[in-house]
Amino acid sequence: MTGTALSSGSLEPRRRKALFRAWHRGTREMDLLLGQFADARLPAFSQDELAAFEALMDMPDQDLFSLLMSENEPSSDVLTPMMADVRAFHRSGS
């Protein structure tokens, strides 16, 4: 996959920005992890979920990649519902 499969034309500006950020992380691995999740879930996010996704994307790539790909559960102070959703999305192959 080379980029988003979701058309941003029908998205409001805040969601378009989040979609762009998800696909332009700086590392290809993070582009794929967050971009594919955004393609599948971003249009249906509530405003609170969108804010949680934006906050997740504020984490540095290396830290976020490590937390998402770890076989161990992150500590409860780091494992937000949004991070749990992204982890579950990629573990289930959705």
Domain residues for the domain of 85 are: 11-92
Does residue 6 lie within any of the structural domains? Answer: no
Q: Mean pLDDT throughout 1-10?
A: 63
Does residue 69 lie within any of the structural domains? Answer: yes
pLDDT of residue 77: 79
Asked if pLDDT for residue 6 goes beyond 80, the answer is no
In contact, 22 and 37? CB cutoff 8 Å? yes
Q: Mean pLDDT throughout 56-74?
A: 88
Confidence bin at 24 (pLDDT 50/70/90): very high
Report the CATH number that the domain containing residue 22 is assigned in CATH: 1.10.150.250
Does residue 75 lie within any of the structural domains? Answer: yes
Asked if pLDDT for residue 5 goes beyond 70, the answer is no
Q: Mean pLDDT throughout 23-40?
A: 94
Whole-number Å distance between alpha carbons of 47 and 26: 25
Neighbours of 36 (CB within 10 A): 20
User: Mean pLDDT, the chain, as a whole number?
Assistant: 88
